[in-house]
Amino acid sequence: MPELPRSFVALGDSFTEGMHDELGPGGRHLGWADRVAAALAVATGGVGYANLAVRGRLLDQVVDEQLPVALELRPDLVSFHAGPNDALRPRTDIADVLRRYDTAVARLRAGGSEVLQFTVLERAGGTGRTADRLAARFAGFNAGVRATAARHGGRLVDVGPVAALHDRRLWHEDRLHLSPEGHARVAAAVLETLGVEDPALLAGLSGWWREPLPPGPPPRRRADLAADVRWVRRHFLPWVGRRLRGRSSGDGMTPKHTELVDVLPR
C-alpha cells in the first residue's frame, strides 16, 4: 500500500460538509470526508483533519474563504469539490468556472499538497429539456475536472459514470445530497483512489461501492408522481425562494473544523 496522508483538509460545499449522513458526536453530519479521516487514522495511527466545507458555497466562495486556510495548514492531502452549485445556475459560464477551478487546483498543488478532485453525476434520474440542459452542463464540468486532474497531477475520484450511484436510494429525498450509504460508498471510492486495499478500512471488498443495490419494488406511477410533488414543495420551491431573496442554505453556518484536529484510531 502506498504511503497514506497524515494530514487531510477538506474544501467545498454540502457534498463535503456531509449533508444528510448520520450525525456525529458533535451533532453535525459525518459525511464521506469524516469517514475517510477515521479510516486514515486507523491505517496510519492518527491523522490531522480539518473540514472547511459549508453547504451552498459557490466556487469563488470556496476559493476566497477556504483555500487560503488550506494553504496555511499545508496538509499532505486536500480534497477540492467546488463548482457544481455554480453549474446549477442557468446563466453561469461553465468554461469560465472551469478556468477558475483549474487555477485553484494549481495553487493547491503549488502549495505542496496532493489534491483530490471529484466528478459529479450528470443526471439524477430526471427527464425533459431542463434535465437535458443540466446534464449537458455537468458533462462539460466533468470534462474540465478530468482535464485539470491530468494537467496538475490531481487524484481523481471519478464517481460521475458509476451507474450504481444513480440509484435514488443512495440519495436523500432532496435529490441533491447523499444518504448515509451514499456517503459510505464515496468514502470507499476516495480510499481506493488513495491506494487503500484493506476491506476493514473500505467497509467491504475492493470495488464494493460500484455494485448495484438489490432490486427494489417496481415503480408505481402514482407513488412516483406523489414523490415528485412532495419534492417540489419541500425542496425545489424553498431553493427558488432562497435564490430570489439572495440567500444561501449555508448563511450563518460555520465549518466543522477550521484547524487540524487529531483523529485517533478507534
Beta carbons of 168 and 177 less than 8 angstroms apart: no
Print pLDDT tens along the chain (266 aa): 679 999 999 999 999 999 889 988 888 999 999 999 999 999 999 999 999 999 999 999 999 999 999 999 999 999 999 999 999 888 899 999 999 999 999 999 999 999 999 999 887 655 567 678 888 999 999 999 999 999 999 999 999 999 999 888 887 667 677 899 999 999 999 999 999 999 999 999 999 999 998 887 776 666 556 555 565 566 555 656 666 666 666 567 789 999 999 999 98
pLDDT for res 138: 93
Domain ranges in the chain are 7-212+252-263
**What pLDDT is stored for residue 115 in this prediction?**
98
pLDDT of 171 reads 76
Phi (first) and psi of residue 2, to 5 degrees: -65, 165
pLDDT reported for residue 127: 58
Would you state the CATH architecture of domain 7-212+252-263?
3-Layer(aba) Sandwich (3.40)
pTM assigned to the model: 0.89
| pLDDT given at position 260 | 98
Q: What is the pLDDT of residue 90?
A: 83
Please tell me the total number of residues recorded for the chain in this structure: 266
Spatial distance between the Cα atoms of 28 and 30, rounded to a whole number of angstroms: 6
Concatenating the DSSP letter of every residue in the chain gives: -PPPPSEEEEEESHHHHTTTS-B-TTSSB--HHHHHHHHHHHHHS-EEEEE---TT--HHHIIIIIHHHHHHH--SEEEEE-SHHHHTSTT--HHHHHHHHHHHHHHHHHTT-EEEEE---S-SS--SHHHHHHHHHHHHHHHHHHHHHHHHT-EEE--TT-GGGG-GGGB-TTSSSB-HHHHHHHHHHHHHHTT---HHHHTSSTTGGGSPPPP-PPP-HHHHHHHHHHHIIIIIHHHHHHHHHT--TTTT---SEEEEEEE---
Largest CA distance in the chain: 54
Angstrom distance (rounded) from CA 106 to CA 99 = 11
Give the pairing of strands 77-81 and 114-118. Answer: parallel
